[in-house]
Amino acid sequence: MLIFKFVGLFAFFSGLIVFASNRKHLLLMLLSLEFVVVSIYFMMFIYLSFLGNEYFFSMVFLTFSVCEGVLGLSILVSLIRTHGNDYFQSFSLLW
């Protein structure tokens, strides 16, 4: 049980470190956010399995994380269509 907690925390913090480091591409940022969400899902699944096998909340969380991923990919597609690439430097909020 303890090793699963450490693996989940290590995955969570490694995803946050990749997200916090300065990346040029939006796709890398979205992948790191999805890795953080998957690590939270893993920790929640392990926690709920030891409480009594009630997995309804994990399915709701998984549904919302899929919706979040789809929204991120739609932003990525619209950014590529308007600017031609997924660099953060080419996208300005002031135009």
What values do phi and psi take at 89, rounded to 5?
-70, -30
pLDDT digits (tens, 9 = 90+) for 3-34: 888 999 999 999 999 989 877 888 888 899 99
How far, CA to CA in Å, does 40 sit from each of 22, 23, 43, 46, 83? 23, 22, 5, 10, 33
Q: Choose which CATH entry (1.10.287.3510, 3.40.50.1950, 3.30.1300.30, 1.10.3080.10) describes domain 2-83.
A: 1.10.287.3510
21 and 38 Cβ atoms separated by less than 8 Å: no
Q: What are the pLDDT digits (tens) for 39-87?
A: 999 998 888 888 877 788 888 998 999 999 999 899 889 888 887 887 8
Contacts of 55 (CB under 8 A, 6+ apart): 45, 48, 49
pTM assigned to the model? 0.83
